[in-house]
Amino acid sequence: MFERDPILSLQNPKVKLVVKLRDRRDRDLMDLYLIEGYRELLRAQQGDAAIESLFICPELFLGDNESHLIEQIGKRGAAIFACSAAVFRKLSYRDRPDGLLAIAKQQHKSLADLEKLLSGNTNPFLVVAEAIEKPGNLGTILRSSDAVGLDALLVCDRCTDIFNPNVVRASVGTLFTVPVIEGTSPDTLAWLRQRGIKVLAATPQATTPYTAIDLTGPIAIAVGTEQLGLSDLWMDGADLQVSIPMRGVADSLNVATATTLLLYEVLRQRENQR
């Protein structure tokens, strides 16, 4: 449904709603979140995100494909609202908005959903992200996970809101292409053990380099907080502990960088095995 009259006032209730959804408390209270940007919305639409309304400003469009995307989103029942450039800049959380921003309903997946997702998959490839704090790191982990064809990202004891606009942005829309499962660390570890999926943890104390261990079987790479790393629960529960060589003065890598290295080593070994 396309609303004919454009939104021209910053006092419009719909504008106020979008602004409120920048706050996690309001996102959780209303079970809604924001998706901004052409690439992000394209992947959201392809990934069956529950888009409820779409705000557009043709004056700010960067290309020629926006009309088709708007049409596709509208066909799925989203209300479409045109806005003036001034109003859209108020809605946007970007320095250079591209004229597309949506409100979507949050969709949560549990370990029960993962069970269905992996049905028939005899060699799962997973990442467990424990208490990741920074939206940018979670978004980057999603982006790398998508690149290697990860089966799912398991977010445990989450500190960062999965639906933070900066997660959506940093993931470049791969939040909608990589299944994200939520659960507690004890439940998730027990679930992995019951299914014979080995847990891999990287730690400076390990003596085995991450490239010197067989990662071709069912695997879950566990990564922890930016400051403290993995908790004792995951370190003690890990089947495999590996190190990432550090030749400089720093004793650790950014969690998203370390995760990417481990993901690509799994991919490399699996492709070589084929």
Q: Look up residue 50 and give its two tokens.
A: 């529950």
Q: Same structural domain for residues 173 and 224?
A: yes
Q: Same structural domain for residues 89 and 117?
A: no
> Residue 143 sits in a domain of what CATH number?
3.40.1280.10
CA distances from 135 to 71, 73, 95, 111, 161 (A): 30, 26, 18, 22, 8
End-to-end CA distance of the chain: 49
Give strand pairing partners of 53: 79, 103
Domain count along the chain: 2
Q: Where does a domain end: 73, 105, 137?
A: 105
Distance in angstroms (rounded) separating the CA atoms of residues 56 and 18:
13
pLDDT band at 235 (very low <50, low <70, confident <90, very high): very high
pLDDT per position as a tens digit, 33-75: 999 999 999 999 999 999 999 999 999 999 999 999 999 999 9
pLDDT per position as a tens digit, 80-110: 999 999 999 999 999 999 999 999 999 999 9
Rounded (to 5) percent helix, strand, coil in the chain: 40, 25, 35
pLDDT per position as a tens digit, 190-233: 999 999 999 999 988 889 999 999 999 999 999 998 788 899 99
For residue 170, the model assigns a pLDDT of 97
Q: Same structural domain for residues 182 and 229?
A: yes
What residue numbers bound the domain in which 233 lies?
111-273
**Residue 4: is its pLDDT beyond 80?**
no
Q: Same structural domain for residues 164 and 225?
A: yes
Q: Same structural domain for residues 78 and 170?
A: no
Q: Where does a domain end: 83, 105, 127?
A: 105
Name the pTM for this structure.
0.94
Q: Same structural domain for residues 215 and 150?
A: yes
Give Rg (Cα) of the chain: 21
Q: Where does a domain end: 105, 139, 156?
A: 105
